[in-house]
Amino acid sequence: MYGLIGKMTAADGKRDELIAILLEGTGEMPGCLSYVVAKDPDDDAAIWVTEVWDSAESHLASLQLPAVQEAIGKGREMIAGFGERHETEVVGGWGLDG
């Protein structure tokens, strides 16, 4: 399994709108076992996205899906920047087995 944890910073006052875009159209991503979007409680502009995939290849392929491309296009101007990004080698956990 492949994991990705990333932080992005929303433009001023756009965090909730950007979160809504990140969550729409993400239900049908083949190979995605978990996709969690969270607000940073200490930074009003920061968003954390935690993903678990069956493989790195599935993650890469998801970036070409029409719904994902549409979300990227809609959210691009609301993103002020990106912060930490960590790839992980997922070994298991609750809810990841189907």
Which CA distances in Å does 17 have to 48, 74, 75? 14, 10, 8
Least Cα distance to 46 among 14, 87, 77 occurs for: 14
Per CATH, domain 2-88 is 3.10.150.10: no
- Separation of CA 47 from chain center: 9
Three-class secondary structure of residue 48 per DSSP? strand
Can you point out the beta strands (E) in the chain? 2-10, 32-39, 46-53, 79-88
Domain residues of the chain, as ranges? Answer: 2-88
Per residue in 42-96, pLDDT (tens digit) is 999 999 999 999 999 999 999 999 888 888 899 999 999 999 999 999 998 887 7
pLDDT at 35: 93
pLDDT at 98 over 60: no
pLDDT at 11: 97
pLDDT at 26: 66
